[in-house]
């Protein structure tokens, strides 16, 4: 059983539904991230899900959160090691379920969680249902890139290990809609991930998807650049990279792992000699600027697309900086009316597709 405590949030506020539990850094990091967002953004307010007895003292300590947090008590927690199937059977009392339920009921349009990705996906599917015309919802992530907007959208990053040509078309449509609303790109460039850019390379289903996505580019208002390679995920040949959830998950984790390794080696390098230690002091600002640019915590807001409602997945290891970035993304998407726009776009394309068949 969950009970809700109302606050005096202003009617102009955008309400974000936040799961306080399940992240590696615990609820204190989540509340700290909310406070950081609230300080920068006067129009944001929260519904906070978790054990109220634990959460209220954390919130009370933050002046910027005064009168901007509605508590929704939920005593259970989804653990990182819980299997999705287990959570589906036993998850109704958890903070994660409660956070999604607030979106289902229309009390918020976007939910944020740092918890177990598989469980979040499973509960979101049950709670929010798939959009009409969508077969497999997808997890879209932002990856640092050479493009002017600073990062690219990549989907699916691991919601489903499989995707056929129709699914990849839907990912292209959802990804371009997300890039339009989240990155403010008027006409996003879409690329289809393959092992080479030549027409004859890759699996048969990719060749089919290549034709299919090309034929919908104008209708769905994006530019299709055709096949792209792994190097284009951090590159500037396109803004949205479309792939299946298996390949996408491996690619993003390889990229993140490489970035972290280089960051650590860089720190080691500067520790090596007195001269390099001095250099690192002199270059602190430059290095911090770089770190900010490639910090996975700042671009860690994965978004589940294809559901009747938007769910932002923050990294499990998110600290206050990471949570604040995910909350900011949730706010942008809620304020732009993204959920409604995506739903309309998918419906229009589905209608067009069935028209062309008859």
Residues in contact with a second copy by CB under 8 A are 81, 83, 118, 144-146, 158, 161-162, 193, 195-196, 198, 200-203, 229-235, 243, 245-247, 249-262, 264-266, 269-270, 272-273, 275-276, 278-283, 285-287, 289-290, 293-294
Q: Would you say 136 and 160 are in contact if contact means Cβ atoms under 8 Å apart?
A: yes
Radius of gyration of the chain (CA): 21
Provide the minimum distance between the beta carbon of 189 and a second copy in the complex, in angstroms, as a whole number.
17
Distance from chain centroid for Cα 332: 12
Cα distances (Å, whole numbers) of residue 224 to 44, 91, 145: 36, 41, 18
Provide the minimum distance between the beta carbon of 290 and a second copy in the complex, in angstroms, as a whole number.
4
CB-wise, 113 or 181, nearer to a second copy? Answer: 113
Q: Within the chain, what is the greatest distance between any pair of CA atoms?
A: 74
The span from the CA of 293 to the CA of 285, in Å, is: 12
Provide the minimum distance between the beta carbon of 35 and a second copy in the complex, in angstroms, as a whole number.
30
CB-wise, 2 or 249, nearer to a second copy? Answer: 249
CB-wise, 48 or 228, nearer to a second copy? Answer: 228
CB-wise, 5 or 267, nearer to a second copy? Answer: 267
Tokens of 87: 């959570």
Angle made by CA atoms 254, 256, 261, in degrees to the nearest 5: 95
The span from the CA of 163 to the CA of 244, in Å, is: 5
CB-wise, 73 or 167, nearer to a second copy? Answer: 167
Provide the minimum distance between the beta carbon of 130 and a second copy in the complex, in angstroms, as a whole number.
21
Cα distances (Å, whole numbers) of residue 92 to 128, 265, 336: 14, 44, 30
CB-wise, 262 or 344, nearer to a second copy? Answer: 262
CB-wise, 221 or 256, nearer to a second copy? Answer: 256
Provide the minimum distance between the beta carbon of 250 and a second copy in the complex, in angstroms, as a whole number.
4
Helices 338-357 & 320-335 angle (0-180, nearest 10): 60
Provide the minimum distance between the beta carbon of 150 and a second copy in the complex, in angstroms, as a whole number.
11
Provide the minimum distance between the beta carbon of 145 and a second copy in the complex, in angstroms, as a whole number.
7
Angle made by CA atoms 249, 167, 243, in degrees to the nearest 5: 30
Instruction: Give residues with Cβ within 8 angstroms of 302, minimum separation 6.
Output: 117, 139, 140, 141, 157, 312, 313, 314
* Cis peptide leading into residue 90 (ω within 30°): no
């Amino acid at each position: 059983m969950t009970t809700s405590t109302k606050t005096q949030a202003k009617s102009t506020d955008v309400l974000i539904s936040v799961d306080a539990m399940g992240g590696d850094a615990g609820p204190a990091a989540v509340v700290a991230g909310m406070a950081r967002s609230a300080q920068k953004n006067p129009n944001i307010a929260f519904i906070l899900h978790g054990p109220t007895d634990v959460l209220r003292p954390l919130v009370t300590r933050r002046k910027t959160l005064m009168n901007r947090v509605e508590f929704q008590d939920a005593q259970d927690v989804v653990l990182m090691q819980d299997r999705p199937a287990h959570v589906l059977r036993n998850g109704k009392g958890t903070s994660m379920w409660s956070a999604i339920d607030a979106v289902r009921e229309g009390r918020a349009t976007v939910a944020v969680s740092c918890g177990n990705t598989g469980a979040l996906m499973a509960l979101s599917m049950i709670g929010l249902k798939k959009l009409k015309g969508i077969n497999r919802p997808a997890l879209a992530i932002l990856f640092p890139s050479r493009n002017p907007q600073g990062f690219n959208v990549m989907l699916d990053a691991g919601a489903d290990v499989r995707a056929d040509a129709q699914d990849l078309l839907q990912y292209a449509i959802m990804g371009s809609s997300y890039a339009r609303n989240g990155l403010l790109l008027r006409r996003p460039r879409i690329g289809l991930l393959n092992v080479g850019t030549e027409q004859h390379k890759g699996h048969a289903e990719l060749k089919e998807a290549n034709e299919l996505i090309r034929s919908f580019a104008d209708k769905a208002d994006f530019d299709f650049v055709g096949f792209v390679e792994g190097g284009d995920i951090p590159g500037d040949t396109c803004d949205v990279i479309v792939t299946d959830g298996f390949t996408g998950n491996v690619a993003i984790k390889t990229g993140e792992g490489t970035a972290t390794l280089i960051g650590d080696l860089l720190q080691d390098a500067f520790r090596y000699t007195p001269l390099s230690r001095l250099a690192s002091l002199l270059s602190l600002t430059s290095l911090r600027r770089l770190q900010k640019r490639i910090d996975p915590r700042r671009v860690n807001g994965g978004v589940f697309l294809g559901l009747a409602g938007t769910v932002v997945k923050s990294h499990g290891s998110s600290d206050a900086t990471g949570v604040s970035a995910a909350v900011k993304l949730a706010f942008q998407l809620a304020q732009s009316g993204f959920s409604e726009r995506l739903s309309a776009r998918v419906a229009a394309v589905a209608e067009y597709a069935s028209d062309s068949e008859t």
